[in-house]
A and B are shown apart, each in its own frame.
Chain A
Amino acid sequence: SQTIHQWPATLVQPVGSPLSLECTVEGTSNPNLYWYRQAAGRGLQLLFYSVGIGQISSEVPQNLSASRPQDRQFILSSKKLLLSDSGFYLCAWSSTGAPPNTEAFFGQGTRLTVV
C-alpha cells in the first residue's frame, strides 16, 4: 500500500533562517506531488506541484522554493524565512496522469512557526 511521510511534525525557526521540509512517498511510482499551505484561519493554498523529477510548477509568488531530486521525494525550502511563512504545510500525492482519476492523499503536515 502507498504511504506518505512528511517531517518534521513541528518546527520553530527564527526569521532569516533557512528551511527544509521533506516529503517522501512509498508504494507508488511517478506520483504527482504537491505542497499546500494552511495559514491561520483554515484556508488551504497550493504552493507547488510536480509531475516528474525536476519538474516543478509554482502557483504563487513567494519566499519558498520546491525541488524533486528523486521520483518520490519532494522538498520545500527557503533561504531566509519570513514571519509570514508561518503556517501548516501539507505534502500530498496523487496517481500520475491527467485527468485526476484518483484522489490526493496527504501527509501528516508540518506546523512551522517563524519567530
Chain B
Amino acid sequence: AQKVTQAQTEISVVEKEDVTLDCVYETRDTTYYLFWYKQPPSGELVFLIRRNSFDEQNEISGRYSWNFQKSTSSFNFTITASQVVDSAVYFCALADSWGKLQFGAGTQVVVTP
C-alpha cells in the first residue's frame, strides 16, 4: 500500500523567512510519481510540481525548490523568502500507475508580515 506522511501540521514564519515542508513516502512500486499541490483559502488545489521516481534532479522554480532523495524516500519542498501570499495548505502526493493520488495530511503554512 502507498503512504505519504507530512509530519508537520502547521508551520508559522515571518515574512522573508525560509520554510521547508517535509514529505516522506512509502511505495512498493519501482516507478512512481510524486507531486506537490497548494491549497489556498479558496479551496482549489493548485499543482506545483511533479517528479518521476527515475529523475532525482532537484528543481528550483523562482522562490520554490524541491529536494528529492530516493535513499530516504523523501520529497521536501522549500519556500525561500516567504511572502504572505504563500499562506496555504500544502499537500504532498504519490500517484500510482492509474494516476490515483494518495495525499499526505497536508501542512498549513502561515506567513505573517
Contacts and interface: CB of A to CB of B under 8 A. Distances in A.
Interface of A: 32, 34, 36, 42-46, 49, 51, 59, 88, 90, 92, 94, 98-109, 111
Interface in B48-96: 50, 52, 89, 91, 95-96
Given A104-B47, A108-B44, A109-B43, A49 B98 contact: yes
Interface of B: 31, 33, 35, 37, 42-47, 50, 52, 89, 91, 95-103, 105-106, 108
The 5 lowest CB-CB distance pairs between A and B, nearest first, are A100-B99, A106-B45, A44-B103, A98-B97, A94-B99
Contacts of B96: 100
A34 B103 contact: no
Q: Which of B42, B46, B95 has the most CB of A within 10 A?
A: B95
Nearest to A95: B99
Given A44-B103, A108-B44, A109-B43, A103 B35 contact: yes
A111 B43 contact: yes
A101 B50 CA distance: 9
Contact of A99 (B33, B37, B42, B89): B33
Contacts of B52: 101
Contact of A32 (B33, B47, B99): B99
Contacts of A88: 43
B59 to A, nearest CB: 14
B21 to A, nearest CB: 14
Given A32-B98, A44-B101, A104-B35, 18 more contacts: A34-B100, A43-B106, A45-B103, A46-B102, A49-B98, A88-B43, A90-B45, A98-B98, A99-B99, A101-B52, A103-B47, A104-B101, A105-B47, A106-B44, A106-B45, A106-B47, A108-B42, A108-B44
A109 B47 contact: no
**Which one of A42, A59, A101 has the greatest number of beta carbons of chain B within 10 Å?**
A42
Nearest to A102: B50
Given A42-B106, A43-B106, A108 B43 contact: yes
